[in-house]
Amino acid sequence: MSGVYNNNDSNLMSQFPSHYTDVNGIGFYITMTHSSNLSEKIAQFYDTSSDLWEQIWGEHMHHGYYGRGGNYKLNRRQAQIDLIEELLIWANIKNVSNLVDVGCGIGGSTLYLAEKFNANATGITLSPVQANRATQRATEVKLEGNTQFQVADALNMPFPDHNFDLVWSLESGEHMPDKAKFFQECYRVLKPGGTFICATWCHRPTNSFAGALTQEEKQHLEEIYRVYCLPYVISLPEYQVIAQQCGFKNIKVDDWSMAVAPFWDLVIDSAFSLEAITGLFKSGWQTIEGALSLGLMSRGYERGLIRFGLVCGQK
Ligand SMILES: C[S@@+](CC[C@H](N)C(=O)[O-])C[C@H]1O[C@@H](n2cnc3c(N)ncnc32)[C@H](O)[C@@H]1O
């Protein structure tokens, strides 16, 4: 399977065989990865951690939005809803009749969007536990008639071409072992005139002005990859090139790192409640390690290494 890597990521290069190519002046490695193994790990990661996340933090498994400069004081859930609403405004999404939520978690945004737009909504995830819980939640909120959830791979979606008028992906791109194939699939299932929006973890740009990632930055990223089951992340300019190559029109990108970074400090605070600690011990080591490593993300934002990137485009 091919992937797109920043040419500075030598650690990753040693893990996966690859060859170098150059697109519009940006260097890429086309890379072979063991994606089924990764898919199993991601499924297991979410199978074991989703219950606890829902119990402590609710149905949305994504950042919150704290104003453009990150200075609004909001409760965590409101900030998560605000992120969805701000994304809709940013991507100018006003009407939706049939959407797919790629990497849907337990259906937080899928159900929110289905209700808001009175739309048909399909959510896909690698985790059977999440798909079941999302289906159950749809019944609880009486949206089972127009929503469906299934275990499926974003890199090979079980949908015909030109099927959805909105393809929504909130914090799943960072898990994809092949970022180009991921965008190509999103493009394929989108109807002409439909909108694709992707909000995803990125690393800082590595253009000649910003410079290559340092060894220390690469190590920091490696820790994040290991703990959160990510193959690698890329920079926002690299996503922009991929979107152009797929054929998306009216492409927009933005960096909302400042707006979302406060989220992690609030998650860290709540992770120390008795309820969270008890739940962590029941969920197993991988979830405990994820919680112990929450500081990795807040430090990543502080030093400008981790970026919250947005891409939207039309077919
Ligand atoms: C951090 S959660 C985000 C969930 C949801 N978007 C939300 O905001 O609540 C990441 C999700 O991406 C899904 N995912 C990761 N890789 C995937 C793939 N290749 N195909 C489908 N889903 C994937 C995971 O199963 C998980 O549901």
Helices (H), 214-293: 215-228, 236-246, 257-260, 262-271, 274-283, 285-292
Q: Whose CA is nearest to atom 23 of ligand 1?
A: 103
Distance from the alpha carbon of residue 46 to the mean position of ligand 1, in angstroms: 8
Tens-digit pLDDT string for the chain (315 aa): 333 333 333 333 333 333 333 333 333 333 334 567 999 999 999 999 898 889 878 899 999 999 999 988 888 889 999 999 999 999 999 999 999 999 999 999 999 999 999 999 999 999 999 999 999 999 999 999 999 999 999 999 999 999 999 999 999 999 999 999 999 999 999 999 999 999 999 999 998 788 999 999 999 999 999 989 999 999 999 999 999 999 999 999 999 999 999 988 777 666 656 565 565 556 555 566 666 667 888 899 999 999 999 999 999
Distance from the alpha carbon of residue 249 to the mean position of ligand 1, in angstroms: 25
Q: Which of 42, 174, 183, 197 is the best mutation target for the ligand 1 pocket, counting ligand atoms within 8 Å of the beta carbon and taking the most?
A: 42
* Residue 127, ligand 1, Cβ within 6 A: yes
Q: Which fold has domain 37-314?
A: Rossmann fold (3.40.50)
Gap between the Cα atoms of 56 and 279, Å rounded: 9
As beta bridge partners, residue 123 has 101, 149
Q: Which of 110, 125, 179 is the best mutation target for the ligand 1 pocket, counting ligand atoms within 8 Å of the beta carbon and taking the most?
A: 125
Q: Which of 57, 80, 100, 126 is the best mutation target for the ligand 1 pocket, counting ligand atoms within 8 Å of the beta carbon and taking the most?
A: 126
| pTM score | 0.87
Q: Whose CA is nearest to atom 9 of ligand 1?
A: 61
Gap between the Cα atoms of 33 and 90, Å rounded: 34
Q: Which ligand 1 atom sits nearest the alpha carbon of residue 60?
A: 9
230-244 per-residue burial string, b: 16 or more CB within 10 A, e: under 16: bbbbbbbbbbbbbbe
Q: Where are the domains of the chain?
A: 37-314
